[in-house]
Chains A and B, each alone.
Chain A
């Protein structure tokens, strides 16, 4: 008598955060690295420059001199406007795992002494997807920037784009965040977007594409439609490196590809020039 072995779920290397263990294996070059070393390199593999996916707070700590000094919109919590199957349970589950109320954080910080508003998304929480909380936080953070006339930085790790579980409400966040960008434009405030792996769908096809300057981390997947959807539609192989940062740079869709270890310095250089009008 044979027993069917239980199917183990496939390993999802990409979705994993760097575990808090002592040793970490680089999914790209397979090197075994001491976690403490990765902390020093902004979670970039010192051997092959693979960029580990990191949380919203981790990114804020890398960019800001003293981390987030005052959070914006922490009191905004997700609702379930469609009564969508399984959504409440998912929200609970991710809240427990990541200690976040939703997929984004926003707040005030300093980059080399320059005061900015930051907006960060977290891939761990439902793929960093855009629902009503995401849109409201972005809008409030952007209007804060506009009113206080300080630059606005959005750092994104958003896979699916709009959050399906909130249906039409999530689609409308594309318009709402764009109104936020229009407020920044009216106030003549610099707006920079930093795209992590991945930034796709409705996030990319709205406010993320509207940055005065668009920077991407190396090798990040950036685009409108997911590669799987495209492949199913056209039924042919996708070119090598398709939709990666370097591909998007080559096609004129982004301004630069910057290593995470150089991100703060790059933003600082840009901001110093962008805020130095002769008027």
Chain B
């Protein structure tokens, strides 16, 4: 288990608990068992206390936790079957974006996710979850396929942002993102997006303009990273804590603003503590949203989708 800085008091207690449990393996002493019980209670209470009062920056750290469940971890747990598909039919196959046909509770579904990669080798293969134009064009292919087959679309979003590189620009990163947003807004099937980790600006929005958008409890979604905002705003990239506060990028913030439709609670201590439980909750949210959306006519679906996005924004109307 990897601990974040603010989890340190928890880490010490859990280490102590582990030690006692090891001792108890060869020694069923009643006193020892009572000690373990007490310590377990203490750990639980402390975990609740630490996690009930997280700052925005602490949530950023959780959203970026190296053990966070990524789309493939989730897909594996929510689907009875999943066949991954590859390539944009134009240039290549972007491994930062995973996509394919899945089956959830016996219903077909098209799934598109942004995958960060776990250890060094996979991180490089997945380009740290930063997609190239090919990735977004693969996503668009999937949206069209879903439309043809009349299957709902589920997207799982966890990316620091679209990749800023020479090749990406040469092959039209802006165009790929713009058309992906457009394609997802007009696609004639129900769409559900879940921000599972980092919702990094346009690179995330490209596959997140859905009928229903949910965030995991400790996920973040922002126009710019806290580091990026800090270097522009305070001319000091280390003031990321302050910037995270100013940007108001947590699931709670976005629900309050009316930008997202709901929050999926994470297991105590964060999604990385229990992949199965996290996946179960994601599956439940998807099924509930799909049941609701499938009752609508295509016309009704598209028109409420347009209405949802055209209403976004906060401004003042001057009195004439």
Would you call A84 and B174 a contact (CB within 8 A)? no
B61 is an interface residue with CB less than 8 A from chain A: no
Q: List residues of B (177-205) whose CB comes within 8 Å of A's CBs.
A: 177-179, 181-182, 185-186, 201-202, 205
Would you call A167 and B164 a contact (CB within 8 A)? no
Q: Give chain B nearest CB distance to A168 CB in angstroms.
A: 5
Select from chain B the residue with minimum beta-carbon distance to A82: B248
- Cβ-neighbour of B315 out of A76, A178, A180 (below 8 A): A76
Select from chain B the residue with minimum beta-carbon distance to A132: B313
* A175 in contact with B166 given A167-B249, A205-B174 (CB within 8 Å): no
Q: List residues of B (22-46) whose CB comes within 8 Å of A's CBs.
A: none
Q: List residues of B (140-185) whose CB comes within 8 Å of A's CBs.
A: 162-166, 168-175, 177-179, 181-182, 185
Would you call B247 and A242 a contact (CB within 8 A)? no
- Cβ-neighbour of B202 out of A86, A166, A201 (below 8 A): A201
CA distance A242 to B167 in the complex (A): 11
A263 is an interface residue with CB less than 8 A from chain B: no
B232 is an interface residue with CB less than 8 A from chain A: yes
Select from chain A the residue with minimum beta-carbon distance to B204: A171
Residues of A within 8 A of B89 (CB): none
Stretch touching chain B among A63-71, A105-113, A144-152, A223-231: A223-231
Q: List residues of A (194-230) whose CB comes within 8 Å of B's CBs.
A: 201-202, 204-210, 222-226, 229-230
The total of chain A residues at the interface (CB under 8 A) is: 61
Residues of A within 8 A of B11 (CB): none
* A205 in contact with B178 given A167-B249, A182-B186, A234-B166 (CB within 8 Å): yes
* A172 in contact with B172 given A209-B179, A210-B179, A239-B166 (CB within 8 Å): no
Would you call B248 and A77 a contact (CB within 8 A)? no
Q: Give chain B nearest CB distance to A6 CB in angstroms.
A: 18
> Which has the most chain A C-beta neighbours within 10 Å: B168, B169, B186, B222?
B169
> Which has the most chain B C-beta neighbours within 10 Å: A78, A131, A205, A222?
A205
Stretch touching chain B among A17-25, A31-39, A133-141: A133-141
A4 is an interface residue with CB less than 8 A from chain B: no
CA distance A225 to B181 in the complex (A): 17
Q: Give chain A nearest CB distance to B233 CB in angstroms.
A: 7
CA distance A225 to B164 in the complex (A): 5
Would you call A182 and B185 a contact (CB within 8 A)? yes
Would you call B177 and A162 a contact (CB within 8 A)? no
CA distance A180 to B232 in the complex (A): 30
- Cβ-neighbour of B316 out of A78, A226, A252 (below 8 A): A78
- Cβ-neighbour of A175 out of B169, B174, B205 (below 8 A): B205
Would you call A205 and B202 a contact (CB within 8 A)? yes
B314 is an interface residue with CB less than 8 A from chain A: yes
- Cβ-neighbour of A230 out of B169, B171, B246, B320 (below 8 A): B169
Would you call A174 and B173 a contact (CB within 8 A)? no
Residues of B within 8 A of A174 (CB): 181, 202, 205
Q: List residues of A (153-183) whose CB comes within 8 Å of B's CBs.
A: 161-164, 166-176, 178-182
A243 is an interface residue with CB less than 8 A from chain B: yes
B254 is an interface residue with CB less than 8 A from chain A: yes
Residues of A within 8 A of B172 (CB): 209, 251-253
As a 0/1 sequence over residues 2 to 16 of chain A, the CB contacts with chain B under 8 angstroms (1 = contact) are 000000000000000
CA distance A34 to B173 in the complex (A): 41
Would you call A77 and B224 a contact (CB within 8 A)? no
Residues of A within 8 A of B202 (CB): 161-162, 171, 174, 201-202, 205-206, 224
A27 is an interface residue with CB less than 8 A from chain B: no
- Cβ-neighbour of A168 out of B165, B175, B206, B248 (below 8 A): B248
* A136 in contact with B315 given A175-B309, A210-B182, A251-B170 (CB within 8 Å): yes
* A79 in contact with B315 given A233-B164, A233-B165 (CB within 8 Å): yes
Given contacts A76-B315, A243-B169, 17 further A-B contacts (CB under 8 A): A75-B317, A77-B317, A133-B313, A133-B315, A136-B315, A164-B223, A164-B224, A164-B247, A166-B223, A168-B249, A171-B202, A175-B181, A178-B181, A179-B309, A205-B177, A206-B178, A209-B177
Residues of chain A touching chain B, judged by Cβ–Cβ distance below 8 Å, are 75-79, 81-82, 84-86, 131-133, 135-136, 139, 161-164, 166-176, 178-182, 201-202, 204-210, 222-226, 229-230, 233-234, 238-239, 242-243, 251-253
Residues of chain B touching chain A, judged by Cβ–Cβ distance below 8 Å, are 162-166, 168-175, 177-179, 181-182, 185-186, 201-202, 205-206, 209, 221-224, 229, 232-233, 246-249, 253-254, 257, 259, 306, 309-310, 312-318, 320
